[in-house]
Copies of this chain bind each other. A is one copy, B any other.
Amino acid sequence: MKSCRNNILKLVAITFLLGTNALFSVSQDGYEQDSLFMRKIFDEALSRGEAYEDLKSLCKDVGARLSGSAEADMAVKWGKLRLEKYGFDTVYLQEIQVPHWERGTKESGWYETADGTIYKIDVLALGGSVDTDGLISAELVSFSTLEELRKAEKSKVEGKLVFVNEPMNEKLINTFSAYGGCFPVRSSSAVDAGKLGAVGVIIRSLSLLEHDHPHTGTLRYTDEVEKIPAAAISTKAANQLQQLVDNGEHLTFHLEMNCKSYPDKKSHNVIAEMKGSVYPKNIIAFGGHLDSWDVGEGAHDDGAGIVHTMEALRILKVLDYKPRNTLRVVFFMNEENGNMGGKTYAKKVKEKGENHIAAIESDRGGFSPRGFTCDGSEAHLKLLQAFKLLFEPYELHRFEKGYGGVDIYPLKDEYEDIALFGFLPDSQRYFDYHHNANDVFEEVNKRELELGAASISSLVYLLDKYLLD
């Protein structure tokens, strides 16, 4: 590890000097070589790229692919076949166990005012929700935030159906921060409402845009609190419902859902490698997650990450790059509702005695690249920032400390010195599509997707070259 640190610092020093032009000649050769190779990577992605057609196939030939579904099994086969087609050194499956929840055939909601006027509303069960056991009808009680619900008297909530209408904070520039702030609304409302004796809960979808598509995503139950059914309504429907609430209407909500959890099922992560020529036992892993929610086509979340990383390796292969370390693409299964792919992967590779030196995740959509986050040591962060100059022609500018990703995070528990990196595309549109019916292939732009793949391929190349000597 010491030689690694020294090497990191050497590059950092060189690039800082480059930045001031003080000793440009010292490292000009290396810089030019990297710069030229990255230009080749971007040319390949933009001129002969396959990411877009691969994504089209994943979205249209497979479609939505929630863990435990037939489509998730199909996605595993799809992934293995694609990776084999590209002729990587090794392609194999890694067995995991995944939760299995299904939406079922019934998902109906409407509400009525005191005078009997009825309003139909699209409801979408949150992932993992229990069913309603037939139709439930209850008085609606509304809260503008989760915090307000948590502070409510039991008498106000008991026997009623809770509506939590907490909007994401539109003032935050990074939309993932706004999502983080509202995440507990989706994950905890069922427990918080259940504690107070509610019969069910509906939440405002986590989206920054006013539109018609409710979103889904996991909720969390606890053993101590009775499980109550939970669903989301669209941001537009939430605004309409809120208007009636604000007008003082006494509303009765009717909900029927027959979603259900089944025993865990066998599934797989899908893995492909280019063997390292100098340090074959050192692994740089990069991937996204192969599963998606069961609405839309999982295009941005996370079809983009799958094809980004497959394309990243394909490009290095067609450019005849000889990696020093082993480069490994991992299609993780079950990020959405359990992260059994990421958790199992980290455990199994550690058990096998494999040495992971870095991992990169793409799970923030297929938009124009902005940069990368680094979850590692200060030296790792400095190394990433030393690459900034090389990425400037491609309009990447954010090289900062931050979370790598759900799938790769468990590797931190197994490898003390690992560096985790997260691909950062522009975040403005992500929550227009996230976990809703809008997340389809047509909403991904070809060039934006290709630039993402080239950015990741470039980072893989640079890490392979500079991370360890």
| Chain A interface (Cβ < 8 Å from any Cβ of B) | 42-43, 46-47, 170-171, 173, 175, 208-209, 368, 370, 393-395, 397-398, 426, 428-429, 432, 445-448, 451
Contacts and interface: CB of A to CB of B under 8 A. Distances in A.
A173 B46 CA distance: 9
A392 to B, nearest CB: 9
Contact of A170 (B47, B173, B175): B47
26 contacts: A42-B171, A42-B173, A46-B170, A46-B171, A47-B170, A47-B171, A170-B447, A173-B394, A173-B451, A175-B447, A208-B447, A368-B368, A368-B428, A370-B395, A395-B397, A395-B426, A397-B397, A426-B426, A428-B445, A428-B447, A428-B448, A428-B451, A429-B445, A429-B447, A429-B448, A432-B445
Contacts of A398: 395
A208 B449 CA distance: 14
B426 A368 contact: yes
Contacts of A42: 171, 173
A266 B446 CA distance: 42
Contacts of A395: 173, 370, 397-398, 426
Nearest to A209: B446
A170 B173 CA distance: 30
A448 B170 CA distance: 12
A393 B173 CA distance: 8
Nearest to A431: B447
A311 to B, nearest CB: 15
Which of A175, A209, A397 has the largest count of B CB atoms less than 10 A from its CB?
Answer: A397
The 10 closest A-B pairs by CB, nearest first: A397-B397, A428-B447, A46-B170, A368-B426, A428-B448, A43-B171, A46-B171, A429-B445, A368-B428, A173-B394
A397 B400 CA distance: 14
A440 B15 CA distance: 45
A56 to B, nearest CB: 12
A133 to B, nearest CB: 40
Contacts of A445: 428-429, 432
A157 B198 CA distance: 80
A398 B395 CA distance: 8
A36 to B, nearest CB: 14
Contacts of A428: 368, 445, 447-448, 451
A445 B397 CA distance: 22
A428 B446 CA distance: 9
A434 to B, nearest CB: 14
A447 B428 CA distance: 6
A447 B43 CA distance: 31
Contacts of A426: 368, 395, 426
A46 B393 CA distance: 30
A175 B451 CA distance: 13
A46 B448 CA distance: 24
A370 B428 CA distance: 13
Contacts of A47: 170-171
Contacts of A447: 170, 175, 208-209, 428-429
A96 to B, nearest CB: 36
A426 B425 CA distance: 12
A252 B294 CA distance: 50
A168 to B, nearest CB: 11
Contacts of A393: 173
A209 B52 CA distance: 12
A429 B175 CA distance: 20
Contacts of A368: 368, 426, 428
